[in-house]
Chain A
Amino acid sequence: MSDQSEVQAYYGLPKEVLFCKKCVISNQRPNSAVEFKHTRESKKDTIAFDQDGVCDACRIGERKKSIDWVEREKQLRVLCDRFRRNDGHYDCVVPGSGGKDSFYAAWKLKYDYGMHPLTVTWAPHIYTEWGWANHQAWLHAGFDNYLCTPNGRIHRLLTRLAVDNLFHPFQPFILGQKNLAPKMAKLFNIPLVFYGENEAEYGNPIKDFGEARRNYRYFTGGDPKDTFLGGTSISELLEKYGLEKVDLEPYMPEDPEPLEKLNLEVHYLGYYLKWHPQACYYFAVENGGFRASPERTPGTYSKYNSIDDRIDDFHYWTTWIKFGIGRATYDAAQEIRSGDINRDEGVALVKRFDGEFPERFAEEIFKYLSINPKEFPKASKAFAEPIVTRESFLALADRFRSPHLWQKTGNEWKLKHVVWTT
């Protein structure tokens, strides 16, 4: 093996690349972080491996097997009994897209636990036809829903900035999504929010997993001076890009004070009910007419998760560039932990599909990311190249390839470390 000690690693990633012995994830996977503090200079915390070379997410998968789910289910009943209302008001908020997980969560709470959920949705950048159909199918299975769709121009601009600064086209979605549920809870005076799975199932620190309640850190803010959207400071957004303060309203983290006054509790349903993503998919098919994507998602083999946003394909392609982890790796790691496939199958799927360029919506996405002078008279002047082309996008990608992960031979970029040779 070549000496890696002299080679630079971007984003604070570990210089030595390791692959989990049980799944296919590498130690380069960043934990989910507080997005409104995210800048190009941010150093990422990454998934922990133990001395046996096994990742935290796999250890949690094992731990799930010994959890007393009957006892956890009882705790859920107690929690629901504490919050249930029969006075004509909603008693909990269930944020989600109407995909398999939020379908399962809302359905269980309403029909098995007698709750009265209000579902809330933060819109994708650009809906896929099947994503929209599934969102509608969710509501027709018996739910009220508020769909929050951000100003398309502002969202495009922030997405472009997130791409240029962080190579993270999905960030504006995450910002809005994390904020929406507590904001709606405040608006409707509903003191309980249910998320689905705990982020620790995918590799956040194990200590997070023992917690039913979500950390406030993820969605409440402090000083606006320390707040960044698309890796850009608020003052820059206002001055350089010509935005007004109100344009940023949906993205700004919630003020913690009113939430504390409301005594808001945020719980993971995945703490109380054993969460199996593929089973959620079948559940949503049987109970709500959920439909998988009609075509394989580029970069992976699956059809049933993260299928509602046309920018999703690019989200996972950028993680492949930055961390060497593409969508097939994320999907296979999850399915190995869930016992749907074994490691040999996972490795073969990663080898075949990881990093496949998402051609199907590419031209539409480049247009989406282009800040043309007609629609953006002021902001367009702040970009050296306001229009995104395939060439400019691929050139940008090269600037985000960390030297410890990538090697260029001739015109071809290759990952130095891959799971099928370990």
Chain B
Amino acid sequence: MKSVIVIDYGIGNLHSVVKGLKHQGAEVTVTSDPSEVSSAERLVLPGVGAFGDGMRELQRRNLIDPIHQFVATGRPFLGICLGMQLLLSESEEFGRHTGLGIIPGKVVAIPHSPGIKVPHIGWRSIQPPAGTTWTQSLMQDVEENTMMYFVHSYTAVPSDESRRLADAQYGTVRISAAIRHQNVTGCQFHPEKSGVHGLKIIHRFLQ
């Protein structure tokens, strides 16, 4: 059985993530133990809430170094929602906060413009950025323009365009729906709440 560690850092809802992983046949351990995190076979960083709180809670549990150690092993890592945003260098949510810095770039507020409601809540279709495909990525089983479920007020802007794995168009705003760097993938949407298509991403993550 594929074993997965889900990081419990006291923030947000682990229930659906754990259910989604188990549904795809994973053996799931929810933990905040630093040594279990660094030595995981696969690692999931979920999360809901504010960026600053998220980093503070990781720090408080001494989980930042273990996450870096895990990433350096090349084993599969999946960040979801806030867990994706924390991968970037910094965020401007309620002040300026430093992130994990695994993917260079920053997290900014979804700009207010006509027809845009913030938070962005609901289903939206995702596409690979122009000129790219999803082969050799966690998205490879997903068809282009599939709808996924989003709920967020901030959006990631990687400084290197090539880190963008999937985009979603929300009014005039281009949302980073998924980002990637080597073994690390982050999804702004919730694969665990996006029905069968979201589960395909979890399935691929477990291969």
Chain A window 324-352, contacts with chain B (Cβ cutoff 8 Å), 1 for yes, 0 for no: 00000000000000011010110010000
Contact across chains for B151 and A344 when beta carbons are under 8 A apart: yes
- Whether A339 and B13, one on each chain, are in contact in the complex, defined by CB atoms closer than 8 angstroms, is yes
Residue B98 at the chain A interface, CB threshold 8 Å? no
A342 touches B153 (CB 8 A): no
As a 0/1 sequence over residues 350 to 392 of chain A, the CB contacts with chain B under 8 angstroms (1 = contact) are: 0000000000000000000000000000000000000000000
How many whole Å from A79's CB to the nearest CB in chain B?
Answer: 28
Task: Knowing A342-B48, A342-B151, say if A348 contacts B121 (CB, 8 Å).
Answer: yes
CA gap between A339 and B18 in the complex, in Å: 12
Q: Are A344 and B15 in contact (CB under 8 A)?
A: no
Q: Contact partner of A348 among B12, B13, B119, CB < 8 A?
A: B119
Inter-chain contacts of B121 with A (CB < 8 A):
344-345, 348
Scan residues 1-39 of chain B and give those whose CB is less than 8 A from a CB of chain A.
12-16
Size class of the B contact interface (CB-based, 8 Å): 10 to 19
Taking the closest CB of chain B, its distance from the CB of A413, in whole angstroms, is 24
Q: Whose C-beta in chain B lies nearest to the C-beta of A342?
A: B48
**What CA separation (Å) do A138 and B153 show in the bound complex?**
43
* A342:B15 contact, CB within 8 angstroms: no
Q: Which residues of chain A from 159 to 201 have a CB within 8 Å of any chain B CB?
A: none
Cα–Cα, bound, A266→B121 (Å): 43
A348 to B117, CA, bound (A): 10
Judging by beta carbons under 8 Å apart, are A339 and B15 in contact? yes
A344 CA to B150 CA in the complex, in Å? 11
CB-nearest residue of chain B to A344: B119
**How far is it, in angstroms, between the C-alpha of A342 and the C-alpha of B13 when the chains are bound?**
8
- How far does the Cβ of B80 sit from chain A's closest Cβ, in whole Å? 13
Query: Which residue of B14, B15, B49, B151 contacts A345 across the interface (Cβ within 8 Å)?
Result: B151
Looking at the assembled complex, report how far the CB atom of B8 sits from the nearest CB atom of chain A, in whole angstroms. Answer: 11
Closest to B118 in A: A344
CB distance from A181 to the nearest CB of B (A): 32
Min distance, Cβ A61 to any Cβ of chain B, angstroms: 12
B13, B14, B49, B153 interface centre (most CB from chain A within 10 Å): B13
Question: Complex: how many Å from CA A348 to CA B123?
Answer: 14
Chain B residues near A344 (CB-CB < 8 A):
119, 121, 151, 153
What is the CB-to-nearest-CB distance from A138 to chain B, in angstroms, rounded to a whole number?
25
- How far does the alpha carbon of A345 sit from the alpha carbon of B117 in the complex, in Å? 13
Q: Determine the residue in chain A with the shortest Cβ distance to B153.
A: A344
The answer for the CA separation of A338 and B148 in the assembled complex, in Å, is 23
Chain A hits for B15, CB < 8 A: 339-340
Closest chain-A Cβ to B117's Cβ sits at a distance in Å of 8
CA distance A344 to B13 in the complex (A): 13
Determine the chain B residues whose CB is within 8 A of the CB of A348 once the complex forms: 119, 121
How distant is the Cα of A149 from the Cα of B14 in the complex, in angstroms? 43
Complex Cα distance A348/B118, Å? 10
Query: Which B-chain residue is minimally distant from A352 (CB atoms)?
Result: B121
Contacts of A339 in B (CB 8 A): 13-15
Closest to B149 in A: A345
Tell me the complex Cα distance, A345–B49, Å: 12
B21 CB to closest chain A CB, in angstroms? 16
Q: Which residues of B contact A342 (CB under 8 A)?
A: 12-13, 48-49, 151
| Complex-state Cα separation, A353 to B76, whole angstroms | 40
Residues from chain B with Cβ under 8 Å of A345 in the complex: 121, 151
B49: chain A residues at CB < 8 Å are 342
A344 to B48, alpha carbons, bound, how many Å?
Answer: 10
Q: How far is the CA of A340 from the CA of B16 in the complex (A)?
A: 8
**Measured CA separation A201–B48 after assembly (Å):** 23
Most chain B beta carbons < 10 A, residue from A339, A344, A348: A344
- Which chain A positions have C-beta within 8 A of B153? 344
255-284 of chain A: CB within 8 A of chain B: none
> Can you name 18 A-B pairs with beta carbons within 8 Å?
A339-B13, A339-B14, A339-B15, A340-B13, A340-B15, A340-B16, A342-B12, A342-B13, A342-B48, A342-B151, A344-B119, A344-B121, A344-B151, A344-B153, A345-B121, A345-B151, A348-B119, A348-B121
Report which A residues bind B (CB closer than 8 A).
Answer: 339-340, 342, 344-345, 348
Known: A342-B12, A342-B49, A344-B121. 11 other contacts (CB 8 A): A339-B13, A339-B14, A339-B15, A340-B15, A340-B16, A342-B13, A342-B48, A344-B151, A344-B153, A345-B151, A348-B119
